[in-house]
Homo-oligomer: A and B are copies of this chain.
Amino acid sequence: MKQSASAWAPASLSNLGPGFDILGIAIDAWGDKIEAVLTDRPGISISYAANSAWTGTTDPAQNTAGVAASKTLEVLDYGGGVEIIISKNIAPGSGVGSSASSAVAAAWAVNAIFGLPLTKKDLVDAVLDGETIASGSKHGDNVIPSLFGGSVIVSASDPSQYRHIHVKDDLYITIILPAVQILTRAARAMLPETVTFSRAIRHASSLAMLVDALKDGDWRAFGRFIMEDEIIEPVRGKLLSCFDSIREAALTAGAYGCALSGSGPAMFAVSENENVAESIRKAMFEACDAAGIESTSIVTTPDNKGVREWDQPEIA
Q: Measuring CB to CB, which residues of chain A are less than 8 angstroms from any residue of chain B?
A: 18-23, 153-157, 161, 163, 165, 191-213, 215, 221, 228, 231
Contact = CB atoms under 8 A, between A and B. Distances in A.
Nearest to A201: B156
Contacts of A208: 19, 22-23, 153, 207-208, 210-211
Given A155-B206, A163-B213, 20 more contacts: A20-B204, A21-B201, A22-B201, A23-B208, A153-B205, A153-B208, A153-B209, A155-B205, A157-B205, A165-B212, A193-B196, A194-B194, A194-B195, A194-B196, A195-B197, A195-B200, A197-B231, A200-B204, A205-B207, A215-B215
5 contacts: A18-B204, A22-B208, A153-B212, A155-B206, A200-B231
A156 B205 CA distance: 6
Q: How many copies does the complex hold?
A: 2
A15 to B, nearest CB: 11
B215 A20 contact: no
Contact of A156 (B153, B156, B204, B215): B204
Given A212-B165, A212-B215, A197 B191 contact: yes
A155 to B, nearest CB: 5
Given A200-B231, A212-B165, A215-B215, A21 B205 contact: yes
Nearest to A212: B163
Contacts of A155: 202, 205-206, 209
A251 B209 CA distance: 29
Contacts of A200: 195, 199-200, 203-204, 231
Contacts of A193: 196-197
